Amino acid sequence: MDENSKYLELFFEETDEHLQSLNEQVLELEQHPEQSEIVDVMFRSAHTIKGMAATMGFDTLSKLTHKMENIFDLLKNKTIQAESDTIALIFDCLDTLSDLVEDLREENDVERDISALVDRLNEAAEGKAASADVQSEEQTEETDETDETFNLSLHNLEDSDQQVIENAKENGFQAYVLAIKIDEDSGMKNARVFLVMSKLEQQGDILYVEPHAEVVENEDFGSVFKLIFLSKLDEETVKNLALDNSEIESVLIHTIKDDDQLVAVVEEEEIEKTAMTESPEKKAEAEKKEHISKQPEPVQKTAAKTSHKQAMNHSVRVDIDKLDSFMNLVSELVIYRTQLMDISTQLQANELTEPLEQVGRISADLQELVLKIRMQPVSAVMSRFPRMVRDLGNDLGKEFELVIEGEDTELDRTVVSELGEPLIHLIRNAADHGVEMPERRTEIGKNPKGQIKITAYQEGNRVVLTVSDDGKGLDPAAIKASAERKGIETEGLNDKELQHLIFHPGFSTASEVTSISGRGVGMDVVKQKINTLGGTIEINSEINKGTTFKVNLPLTLSIIQALMVKVGSETFALPLGVVQKIIKPEAAEIVQVHDREVYLFEEAAVPVIHLNEVLGIEATNSSNLHLVLVKQGDNHYALAVDDIIRQQEIAIKKLGKELSMLKKYLGATIMGNGGIIMILDIARICHSSQEEESEY
């Protein structure tokens, strides 16, 4: 375990991806049981998990996955059908695998008992899996008898390989042929191949592998595999890299020279120079191999071969803390760039203009790059929802159609990582409280299958997520009755305010506690989590038509374009992404309607919000009044400010827990002169204004 500990993080990442893929593929197989290619994808994912688990020494995980493979094999051969019982069994296995992985991640040493699950898998196989295993062993033994050429011969290389090697040498790389023999008693030979290749690819590029990927995947290659490796390391170091893996018996290596013919067998004297483990048995074995024919046997070329000619890896895994540090440094760069520009303007130093423009361009490109690096599609969270909705339907006896739109919409990865919990609460509540039972839906003329819809889209510098259902909606009367029973004050609340009581801690309208919801927790957690992320949540619900929860989140938590405005004697920053237009109105264009002021824009009455009143700042007699037209959802608002200063790029700094009561601000930014400017939360300000307007 110690020697493989550095691969633990890679193991968790790869296993999580394959488990998610398996969940998605099983859902697809349930809908389309006739498509055998789905089982092929499932088989590859399970086989990879089994190989990695065996390599890391996680025997329980490896054993369970192996038993699952038997079921997949029977599905592939049409021996058993993808019926509901089989699908449910596979999902139970996937849930147990996820639990096992979580135990390992949390270093929980409790041994889970999988015997009951293994018995169910054996019963499902009806004894046919055992015969399949025997057949597989016979094929492996037959392969072992025919694949005994532990030498450096390679088959069917193309002219392009020689050209790649020559180009690599011009760039300072050496090309090596390696033949690697795995211990005969190794439990997972294909996993050993993966581990050796993974270690080598950290120091160079693998150009060619023999046998091809499908043979390695099925463990039909005996004990020897060969490859061409490009690296700047010396021969001895490369040999040690390959040998420094458990269950590797010996390694042959040859440095390819300019006059070597790659399609021929390497000469005997070169074999004598190869690095092998120096035991007498190994030397005797080498002498025995010298008498084997050098003529390569023809093998069929496959499309998979092209994958071994790829360039150096184009992606690397980076710790999130390093990205956070990178972001903070770029934020500081923005602050000091602004400070330099202010100093240059004050001193009228024209000779600094061009260098500062270049610094501005480079820093802008840099911050755009770091923002893109941190962005992640919300599909990273949404991919788990189809399986969850399926299970909810089975548990509740309901039918659901899940619709997901805009899953490619990107958010800051710190927001995405925290988004799963609130969205899960919203979906579970939609399934349990929102969508009616099929019989009831039929009675009132609805489709027996309820719809749960999740959408995501970008709106300015924010992202909007909605979770909606076509169920019974939120009944204000039922909410009021439930609130009064719990001692919550409801006097004078309108219907919308009553609906928002579901966010009150401990509130629930469920008449009985279920495994899904109804314990009086959940919705308050949703609101608290979204507020922590700098977002807001709104409710739009109609009785017997459905409910929509609208979550408004910041696109990024770091650097934004802002509009600097004057309110009274104070300066504030508005996120530029929500700004539609800046208007300098005539006095007659702002009309008093009841107790509200509106501005007529494109034949529509837009509510005017005086920021000095919202922020509690003394009004000025400024004749330079401007209206900043912003859009929130489908509504427009006109923010009245005393002056427009300029557009500027700013770095957002969180206010911290001590100032968490300041609800009207996204955060603060530090200006070039060291001053601190507050950043207004336009979504919250407009939402508060809309609630006040609904009271009239």
Q: How confident is the model over 169-191, as pLDDT tens digits?
A: 888 888 899 888 888 777 677 77
pLDDT of residue 622: 66
As a whole number, mean pLDDT of residues 395-415 equals 86
407 and 546 housed in the same domain: yes
259 and 360 housed in the same domain: no
Backbone φ and ψ for 684, nearest 5 degrees, come out as -70, -40
pLDDT of residue 334: 75
156 and 113 housed in the same domain: no
| Total domain count, the chain | 5
Residue 341's domain is classified under what CATH number?
Answer: 1.10.287.560
369 and 387 housed in the same domain: no
Q: Residues 227, 186: contact at Cβ < 8 Å?
A: no
517 and 432 housed in the same domain: yes
DSSP 55-84: HHT-HHHHHHHHHHHHHHHHHHTTSS---H
| Cβ-Cβ contacts under 8 Å for 400 (sequence gap 6 or more) | 389, 390, 392, 393, 431, 435, 449, 450, 451, 452
403 and 531 housed in the same domain: yes
Query: What is the distance between the alpha carbons of residues 221 and 211, in angstroms, rounded to a whole number?
Result: 7
pLDDT of residue 280: 42
Tokens of 104: 């390992």
516 and 571 housed in the same domain: no
As a whole number, mean pLDDT of residues 479-503 equals 84
Q: Which residues pair with 632 in a beta bridge?
A: 635
Q: Residues 584, 626: contact at Cβ < 8 Å?
A: yes
pLDDT of 145 over the 50 cut:
no
pLDDT of 133 over the 60 cut:
no
Is residue 560 helix, strand or coil?
strand
pLDDT of residue 299: 34
CB atoms within 10 A of CB 259: 5
- Count Cβ neighbours within 10 Å for each residue of 543-574 and write b for 16 or more, e otherwise: eeebbbbbbbbbbbbbbbebbbbbbbeebbbb
Residue with tokens 């601190």: 676
Residue with tokens 């299958």: 449
Query: What is the distance between the alpha carbons of residues 405 and 202, in angstroms, rounded to a whole number?
Result: 38
Tokens of 95: 């849930």
In a domain, 300, yes or no: yes
pLDDT of residue 673: 66
pLDDT of 44 over the 90 cut:
no
- Please state which of the ranges 5-14, 159-168, 370-379, 679-688 shows the lowest mean pLDDT: 5-14
In a domain, 389, yes or no: yes
pLDDT of 358 over the 80 cut:
yes
pLDDT of 627 over the 80 cut:
yes
548 and 587 housed in the same domain: no
User: What amino acid positions are annotated as catalytic residues?
Assistant: 47, 69, 429
In a domain, 314, yes or no: no
Q: pLDDT band at 439, cuts 50/70/90?
A: very high
pLDDT of 52 over the 50 cut:
yes
Domain closes at, from 129, 144, 159? 144
Residue 64's domain is classified under what CATH number?
Answer: 1.20.120.160
Q: Mean pLDDT in the chain?
A: 77
Query: What is the distance between the alpha carbons of residues 156 and 149, in angstroms, rounded to a whole number?
Result: 16
Domain closes at, from 519, 554, 589? 554
Q: Convert the pLDDT of each residue in 497-535 to its tens digit.
A: 888 888 877 675 544 444 445 434 468 778 878 877 777
pLDDT of 281 over the 80 cut:
no
In a domain, 366, yes or no: yes
In a domain, 485, yes or no: yes
533 and 598 housed in the same domain: no
In a domain, 302, yes or no: yes
Q: What is the DSSP letter of 502?
A: G
Q: Convert the pLDDT of each residue in 233-257 to its tens digit.
A: 989 889 888 888 777 888 899 888 8
Residue 404's domain is classified under what CATH number?
Answer: 3.30.565.10
* pTM, 2 dp: 0.55
Residue with tokens 């802008």: 364
pLDDT of 470 over the 50 cut:
yes
625 and 533 housed in the same domain: no
pLDDT of 60 over the 80 cut:
yes
Percentage of the chain modeled with pLDDT above 70: 80
Query: What is the distance between the alpha carbons of residues 12 and 227, in angstroms, rounded to a whole number?
Result: 27
Domain holding 371, by residue range, is 320-376
Q: Residues 683, 552: contact at Cβ < 8 Å?
A: yes
Backbone φ and ψ for 694, nearest 5 degrees, come out as -70, -15
pLDDT of 97 over the 50 cut:
yes
- Please state which of the ranges 163-167, 284-288, 323-327, 384-388 shows the lowest mean pLDDT: 284-288
pLDDT of residue 261: 52
Tokens of 482: 């439930």
pLDDT of residue 513: 45
In a domain, 642, yes or no: yes
Q: pLDDT band at 691, cuts 50/70/90?
A: low
Percentage of the chain modeled with pLDDT above 90: 7
Residue with tokens 């995405």: 416
pLDDT of residue 692: 61
Residue 230's domain is classified under what CATH number?
Answer: 3.30.70.1110
139 and 178 housed in the same domain: no
Q: Higher pLDDT residue, 12 or 692?
A: 12
277 and 153 housed in the same domain: yes
Domain closes at, from 524, 554, 584? 554
In a domain, 400, yes or no: yes
